[in-house]
Amino acid sequence: MALHRLTSVTMGVPNVTETIGYYSEFGLEHLGEGSFATRDGGKQLRVVYAPTRRLVELGVGADGPDDIAQISARLERLGVPRTFDGNTLRAIEPVSGFTARIEVAPRIVQVPVAATLYNGPGRIDRYGRAPGVVRETPVRPKKLGHCVVGTTNLEATMGFFTEGLGFKISDYIGDKGAFMRCSVDHHNVLALAAPVNFLHHTSWQVDDIDDIGRGVKKMLEGNPHRHVWGLGRHHAGSNFFWYLKDPAGNFSEYYSDMDCIPEDEIWTPETFFGAQGLFNWGPPPPPSFLEPEDLTALMAGQHSPGIQ
């Protein structure tokens, strides 16, 4: 696959200062002027002003200019507006109008993290206290894993990503959503049928389930209203998850242990229905996860201030 990762996401919010403060607490490194970096992916988040919360731009990394030229040709056949300067292609997603920026970028190289040792029935793999219990370093996300977008035309959005950009389908949620990948991760974009176009959540990789718990613990200290859904494990992608809410109303996810699909592996997408499309175990998702509380306001083009 010529594409190999998400490089960045730009979210527009009405309350920039509060949102910047949130993602600084979340563990991303604030570079100034609303830009944030992860430990392995470099600059991967930008927070800018918009009258209502929305996805402004999604960056995707490609190996070389020839790969991007092929994408440009496919988009031309689809009639998608775009600009291409030889190294960077900008195309407008036809439903919600966010910009997809395809650029030549280095592949992420991640230093392998030692597998966490777990004791089990009749098995002692670890002596002493569990490493996750005594770990004191701050939780710092390793990379941007995926983003989820609501779209009023699921078929058109899927076509833009698959027929245009070259993403591959990993799995489906009935006829309501599609998990798509541009890397070896199970998914980098999930498109969901919705009554309005909006950014549902961004997802950030941490080392393991202990770092999910430690990160959430810190985020909820004095701010229990940030909790949305978790702890649990998804079925599609298999990752552990916990979702929080930022001050603009966007959800943010800590995740670990995502399924990987090597580029040369034959993968047959499955279709999941009901709860299986959302999670394998954990508490059921609250209604506000499926239909965010400000959805009506977003449909009216208004801003709900969310949680400050």
Asked whether the beta carbons of 91 and 100 are under 8 A apart, the reply is yes
The pLDDT score that the predictor gives to residue 1 is: 67
CA dihedral 70, 75, 78, 82 (to 10 degrees): -150
What's the chain's average pLDDT? 94
Structural domains of the chain in order of their starting residue, each with its CATH number? 3-107+139-299 (3.10.180.10)
Taking 60 as the threshold, does the pLDDT of residue 296 lie above it?
yes
Q: Residue 71 corresponds to which tokens in the numbers above? A: 């994408």
Residue 308 has a pLDDT of 34
Confidence of residue 74 (pLDDT cuts 50, 70, 90): very high
Task: Please determine, for residue 32, whether its predicted confidence score (pLDDT) is greater than 60.
Answer: yes
Task: State residue 307's pLDDT score.
Answer: 36
Residue 303 has pLDDT above 60, yes or no: no
Does pLDDT of 305 surpass 50? no
The three-point CA angle 220-225-231 to 5° equals 60
pLDDT of residue 301: 83
What percent of the chain has pLDDT above 90?
Answer: 89
Is the predicted pLDDT of residue 131 greater than 60, yes or no? Answer: yes
The tens digit of pLDDT for each residue in 136-178 reads 999 999 999 999 999 999 999 999 999 999 999 999 999 999 9
Global pTM exceeds 0.85: yes
The DSSP symbol for 260 reads B
Three-state secondary structure call for residue 102: strand
Residue ranges with strand state E in the chain:
3-13, 29-32, 35-38, 42-49, 54-62, 82-84, 88-92, 99-104, 143-151, 168-173, 177-181, 189-193, 198-205, 227-233, 240-245, 251-256, 270-272
DSSP assignment, residue 247? T
User: Under 8 Å CB-to-CB from 153, ≥6 apart: which residues?
Assistant: 94, 95
Using a pLDDT cut of 70, give the percent of the chain over it: 97
Assigned token pair, 308 = 């400050």
Overall average pLDDT of the 36-64 stretch = 97
* b/e map 29-63, b = 16+ CB within 10 Å: beeeebbbbbbbbbebbbbeebebbbbbbbbbbbe
Q: What is the mean pLDDT of residues 214-230?
A: 98
pLDDT in tens, 224-275: 999 999 999 999 999 999 999 999 999 999 999 999 999 877 899 999 999 9
Whether the pLDDT of residue 220 is over 70: the answer is yes
